[in-house]
Copies of this chain bind each other. A is one copy, B any other.
Amino acid sequence: MCHHCNYEELLSGADLEATPNRVRVLEVVGDNRFPLSASDIYKILERSSTINRVTVYRILDRLVENGVVERISTGGRAFYYGLAPNDYHQPHPHFYCKMCGQMDCLSPESLTVDTEALWKTYPGRIDKVEVRIDGICKNCEKRQTE
């Protein structure tokens, strides 16, 4: 567990009853250094004890709705999920490797985006700014040349 986060508290703080399944899902998402797909999360949970795939989707939806978890788009077909930004986790860009599908978190400073003007002037409602780098990660690049 991230030493800043108590997952039960995170849940109740977001108006969500801390059911065992919700805690399990949130633990998997929160304990990972990088975002995971619903399918990844399901597989990890299945290893310890049974859970339904649909339940995982539904829990993820609720967590995203209530701002606990962030849904991140990839250059591929599935969404990935990571902890939503909060006091201890700043928003940050991600790197998506189109070969292995792994998504890395980049440091918030690695890329500076100035969104201030946009927030002021955009005529609609802005919920989120997503920055994603697509490419091929170091490992896959190496593997290719072998």
Contact = CB atoms under 8 A, between A and B. Distances in A.
A129 to B, nearest CB: 5
A133 B113 contact: no
A127 B127 CA distance: 26
Contact of A128 (B117, B135, B137, B138): B135
Interface size class of A (residues with CB under 8 A): 35 or more
A28 interface: no
Interface of A: 71, 73-75, 77, 95, 97-98, 106, 110-115, 117-118, 121-138, 140-141
Given A110-B117, A110-B121, A122-B133, 9 more contacts: A71-B75, A95-B124, A98-B127, A111-B115, A113-B131, A124-B135, A129-B134, A130-B130, A132-B132
